[in-house]
Amino acid sequence: MPETLTITDNRTGKTYEVPIKDGTIRATDLRQIKFDELDFGLMTYDPAFMNTAACRSSITFIDGDRGILEYRGIPIEQLAEKSTYLETAYLLLNGELPTQSQLDEWTFNVTHHTILNEKLKLVLDAFRYNAHPMGKFISMISALGTMYPEAKNIFDYDNRQKQIQRIVAKVITIAAFGYRHMVGMPYAYPDNDLSYSENFLNMIFKTTETKYKPHPALAKALDVLLILHADHEQNCSTSTMRVVGSSHVDPYSALAAAAAALYGPLHGGANEEVIRMLTEIGSKDNVPAFIKKVKAGEGVKLMGFGHRVYKNYDPRAKIIKQVAYEVFEVTGKNPLLDIALELERIALEDEYFVKRKLYPNVDFYSGLIYQAMKFPMDMFPVLFAIGRTSGWLAQWQEMLLDADQKISRPRQIFTGSPRRDYKPISQR
């Protein structure tokens, strides 16, 4: 079977043959299709990249119809059950699970890079008391990058690994300091005896005790949530990381941009919106009326439902739902759970949602867990950003080393005015 596509341009009657590779044609192969000599050549119009592969990637595989998610070939369910966040981060960044000595070295390096330059506390002090922690996170990542001017040497392997270790290590400190600043508590410093997730909980919740030891079930739950959020191929924030990184800026600046993309309510901000929605619904009895409003298309969406890629139950949501029950064993049940379960039950039976293949996504239950663990809502996207940091860095590194990649620069279809003369203000 020839792996080609034959295209006839009915404007000119000419026929072209373009190669098909991996079920894809190269958009630039269409440029030879011209109406006349002056024509720029045929382009594709694909707002929001609904059907455009912008890279080749060997990091994360998603089958949205079957609800499959794999990191480097390993199913997310196995990683959630058997791995740790740092091991998974290593897998994403390096392509293989680490040996014991590799894991020890990686864990040691991350653990020993968690301290922030004290000057960065002054950046936090510049924020108002009620500044959103995600805004602080984004700014702090950018400010952190200025501490390491050598980070711009992105094609130097050792230098790149050093920055990757630093970023993975310091995002938990930045996130925790942002939280402590928000609630007016003194900063708690990292404790190298603790695991990555334990250390984060230590910096968030430690008060006067000399040694903070989080509840193992809560530390485990957080670690699983970080694993589930670690990568999700070419989503909005990861594409941002790649696009900004394609200008060859340092990874801190690219990561700040990626975090900004994540902040939006249609992306990582959705878990926060889910809690707001459940609180507003208020009780199980109000669920049918709310669903009616959503279906009426009055601009109300069922937050935590639907996904650009998954047209089946998001496999992460399944795991998170299970984790939620484990966390509630320790914290007591989140009273919003009953409303969430009722929403899910009704939506999964309702023709509107069934027809559109709208299922719970990763954000539907994660907020309930974070809230039960006593994280304020504003912190939810920050927690997402911590987990996604390893994925952003893995994708950034892959992009840098990909010979096919250049600076990202989409085309446009110009719809503005044809050339015209400037009119003096008196004549307008």
- How far is residue 204's CA from residue 85's CA, in Å, rounded to a whole number? 18
363 is catalytic: yes
Binding window for ligand ACO (CB under 6 A); candidates: 90-98, 113-121, 210-218, 360-368: 360-368
Burial zone of 181 (CB within 10 Å; 0-12 exposed, 13-18 middle, 19+ buried): buried
Q: Which range of residues in 147-155, 250-258, 303-311, 370-378 is near ligand ACO by CB under 6 A?
A: 303-311
Determine which one of 307, 314, 350, 378 is catalytic. 307
Contacting residue, 168, 358, 373, 394, with ligand ACO by CB under 6 A: 358
Q: Contact with ligand ACO (CB under 6 A): which of 253, 334, 361, 371?
A: 361
Q: Which stretch binds ligand ACO (CB under 6 A): 61-69, 124-132, 306-314, 334-342?
A: 306-314
Give me the least distance between CB of 125 and ligand ACO, in Å please: 32
CB–CB of 241/250 below 8 Å?
no
**Contact region for ligand ACO (CB under 6 A) — 84-92, 99-107, 201-209, 359-367?**
359-367
Radius of gyration of the chain (CA): 24
Binding positions for ligand ACO, 255-274, rule CB under 6 A = 266-267, 270
SS (H, E, C) the chain: CCCEEEEEECCCCEEEEEECECCECCHHHHHHCCCCCCCCCCCCCCHHHCCCCCCCCCCEEEECCCCEEEECCEEHHHHHHHCCHHHHHHHHHHCCCCCHHHHHHHHHHHHCCCCCCCCHHHHHHCCCCCCCHHHHHHHHHHHHHCCCHHHHCCCCHHHHHHHHHHHHHHHHHHHHHHHHHHHCCCCCCCCCCCCHHHHHHHHHHCCCCCCCCCCHHHHHHHHHHHHHHCCCCCCHHHHHHHHHHCCCCCHHHHHHHHHHHHCCCCCCCHHHHHHHHHHHHCCHHHHHHHHHHHHCCCCCCCCCECCCCCCCCCHHHHHHHHHHHHHHHHHCCCCCHHHHHHHHHHHHHCHHHHHCCCCECCHHHHHHHHHHCCCCHHHHHHHHHHHHHHHHHHHHHHHHCCCCCCCCCCCCCCCCCCCCCCCCHHHC
Stretch that binds ligand ACO, among 112-120, 136-144, 209-217, 304-312 (CB under 6 A): 304-312
Measured from the CB atom, the residue of 132 and 307 that comes closer to ligand ACO is 307
Strand 60-63, strand 68-71: pairing: antiparallel
Q: Considering the rule CB under 6 A, would residue 305 count as an interface residue with ligand ACO? A: yes
369: nearest Cα among 390, 353, 387, 354 = 387
Smaller CB separation from ligand ACO, 308 or 411: 308
- Distances in Å between the Cα of 91 and the Cα atoms of 58, 61, 267, 401 are 12, 14, 24, 17
Please select the residue that binds ligand ACO; options are 59, 225, 303, 369, rule is CB under 6 A.
303
381 part of the interface to ligand ACO, by CB under 6 A: no
Using the rule CB under 6 A, which residue among 362, 372, 383, 399 binds ligand ACO?
362
Would you say 212 or 370 has its CB closer to ligand ACO?
A: 370
Shortest reach from residue 303's CB to ligand ACO, in Å: 5
Q: Does 363 bind ligand ACO (CB under 6 A)?
A: yes
The yes or no reply on residue 302 touching ligand ACO (CB under 6 A) is yes
Q: How far is the CB of 375 from ligand ACO (least distance, A)?
A: 17
267 is catalytic: yes
Site membership for ligand ACO, residue 365 (CB under 6 A): no
Among 141, 294, 386, 393, binds ligand ACO (CB under 6 A): 294
Stretch that binds ligand ACO, among 36-44, 55-63, 239-247, 305-313 (CB under 6 A): 305-313
> Does residue 388 touch ligand ACO according to CB under 6 A?
no
| Closer residue to ligand ACO (CB): 224 or 302 | 302
* Least Cβ distance, residue 184 to ligand ACO (angstroms): 31
Does 214 bind ligand ACO (CB under 6 A)? Our answer is no
- Binding-residue total with ligand ACO (CB under 6 A): 17
Nearer to ligand ACO, 169 or 394 (CB): 394
Active site positions, annotated: 267, 307, 363
Chain residues that interact with ligand ACO, rule: CB under 6 A: 266-267, 270, 294, 301-308, 356, 358, 361-363
